[in-house]
Structure 1
Amino acid sequence: MRRSAHSVGAVAVAFLLLQPPAVAAQGAADEDARQPRPALMAPRAASALLLDAVKAGERWVVAGQRGNILLSDDASAWQQVPVPVDATLTRLHFLDGQRGWAVGYDGTLLGTVDGGREWTLLQFDPQWARPYYDLHFFDADNGLLAGANGALLATTDGGRTWTANESETFEDQQNLYRLVALGDGSLLIAGERGFLARSKDRGASWQRLRSPYTGSFFGALPTGDKGVLIFGLRGNAFHSADIDLAEALDAEALQALRDAELDPDAASGGASPVSEVAGWRALDSAQVESLFDATVTADGRVVLVGMNGHVMQADLDSGRLTRLPVAPDNNMNAVVAAGDELIVVGTAGAQRIALP
Structure 2
Amino acid sequence: MDAHALLFGRHGIAGPNSRAATYGRRMRTALRRFVLACLWAVSLPAAAQHAADIDPTLAPRPAVMAPRAATSLLLDIARAGEHWIVVGQRGVILRSSDGQHWQQMPSPVDVMLTRVRFFDDTRGWALGYDGAVLETRDGGRSWTLLRFDPQWGKPWFDVLFLDAEHILLAGTNGALMITADGGQTWQSIDTPVLEDGPNLYSLAALGDGSLLLAGERGFLARSTDRGTTWQRLRSPYSGSYFGALPVGEQGVVIFGLRGHAFYAADLRAAEVLSAEAAQALREAALDPTAAAAHINPVSEVSGWTRLENDDYESLFGGTVTADGRVLLFGMNGHVMQVDLTSRRLHRLPAAPESNLNAGRLAGSDLIVVGTAGVQRLPLTR
Q: TM-score, normalised by structure 1?
A: 0.91
Contact 2:206 2:252 in 1 (8 A): yes
Aligned partners of 2:175 and 2:291: how far apart in 1? 25
Describe the shift of the 1:14–1:302 C-alpha distance in structure 2 as closer, same or farther (beyond 3 A): closer
1:131 paired residue number: 155
Contact 2:177 2:189 in 1 (8 A): yes
Aligned partners of 2:344 and 2:173: how far apart in 1? 32
Alignment of 1:108 with 2:94, yes or no, is no
Look up the SS of the partner of 1:230 in the other structure. Answer: strand
Q: Which has the larger radius of gyration?
A: 1
Describe the shift of the 1:271–1:345 C-alpha distance in structure 2 as closer, same or farther (beyond 3 A): closer
Q: What is the one-letter code of the residue matched to 1:164?
A: S
**Aligned match for 1:41, one of 65, 76, 92:** 65
Look up the SS of the partner of 1:193 in the other structure. Answer: coil
Farther off after superposition, 206-215 or 155-164? 155-164
2:48 paired residue number: none
Alignment of 1:267 with 2:291, yes or no, is yes
**Aligned match for 1:89, one of 101, 113, 121:** 113
Q: Could you tell me how far 1:33 is from its partner in structure 2?
A: 7.0
Q: Could you tell me how far 1:254 is from its partner in structure 2?
A: 1.7
Farther off after superposition, 234-243 or 313-322? 313-322
**Aligned match for 1:251, one of 275, 294, 302:** 275
**Aligned match for 2:122, one of 86, 89, 98:** 98
**Aligned match for 1:283, one of 298, 304, 307:** 307
1:209 paired residue number: 233
Aligned partners of 2:155 and 2:106: how far apart in 1? 21
Alignment of 1:311 with 2:311, yes or no, is no
Aligned partners of 1:117 and 1:272: how far apart in 2? 43
Q: Could you tell me how far 1:91 is from its partner in structure 2?
A: 0.6
Contact 2:239 2:295 in 1 (8 A): no
Look up the SS of the partner of 1:145 in the other structure. Answer: strand
* Unaligned runs of at least 5 residues, structure 2: 14-54
Alignment deviations for residues 248-300 of structure 1 (CA, whole Å, 9 cap, x no partner): 11222222222222222211225761101000011111111100111233443
**Aligned match for 1:6, one of 3, 6, 12:** 3
Alignment deviations for residues 187-219 of structure 1 (CA, whole Å, 9 cap, x no partner): 111100000001111110000000000000001
Q: Could you tell me how far 1:8 is from its partner in structure 2?
A: 4.4
Q: What is the one-letter code of the residue matched to 2:71?
A: S
Name the % identity.
Answer: 61
Q: Could you tell me how far 1:339 is from its partner in structure 2?
A: 2.0
Aligned partners of 2:12 and 2:322: how far apart in 1? 41
Look up the SS of the partner of 2:217 in the other structure. Answer: helix
Alignment deviations for residues 11-70 of structure 1 (CA, whole Å, 9 cap, x no partner): 67479xxxxxxxxxxxxxxx9872100001111111111100001111111101000101
2:45 paired residue number: none
Describe the shift of the 1:270–1:73 C-alpha distance in structure 2 as closer, same or farther (beyond 3 A): closer
* Unaligned runs of at least 5 residues, structure 1: 16-30
1:163 paired residue number: 187
Q: What is the one-letter code of the residue matched to 2:363?
A: G
2:378 paired residue number: 354
Q: Could you tell me how far 1:145 is from its partner in structure 2?
A: 0.5
Total equivalences in the alignment = 337
Farther off after superposition, 249-258 or 336-345? 249-258
1:58 paired residue number: 82
1:187 paired residue number: 211
1:237 paired residue number: 261
Aligned partners of 1:158 and 1:274: how far apart in 2? 40
Describe the shift of the 1:11–1:262 C-alpha distance in structure 2 as closer, same or farther (beyond 3 A): closer
Q: What is the one-letter code of the residue matched to 1:181?
A: A
Aligned-residue Cα RMSD (Å) equals: 1.9
1:18 paired residue number: none
Farther off after superposition, 32-41 or 92-101? 32-41
Look up the SS of the partner of 1:260 in the other structure. Answer: helix
Aligned partners of 2:208 and 2:231: how far apart in 1? 16
Q: Could you tell me how far 1:6 is from its partner in structure 2?
A: 3.1
Q: Could you tell me how far 1:301 is from its partner in structure 2?
A: 2.6
Q: What is the one-letter code of the residue matched to 1:309?
A: G
Q: What is the one-letter code of the residue matched to 1:329?
A: E
Q: What is the one-letter code of the residue matched to 1:292?
A: F
Q: What is the one-letter code of the residue matched to 1:7?
A: H
Look up the SS of the partner of 2:3 in the other structure. Answer: coil
Describe the shift of the 1:14–1:319 C-alpha distance in structure 2 as closer, same or farther (beyond 3 A): closer
Contact 1:227 1:241 in 2 (8 A): yes
Q: Could you tell me how far 1:355 is from its partner in structure 2?
A: 1.2
Look up the SS of the partner of 2:284 in the other structure. Answer: helix
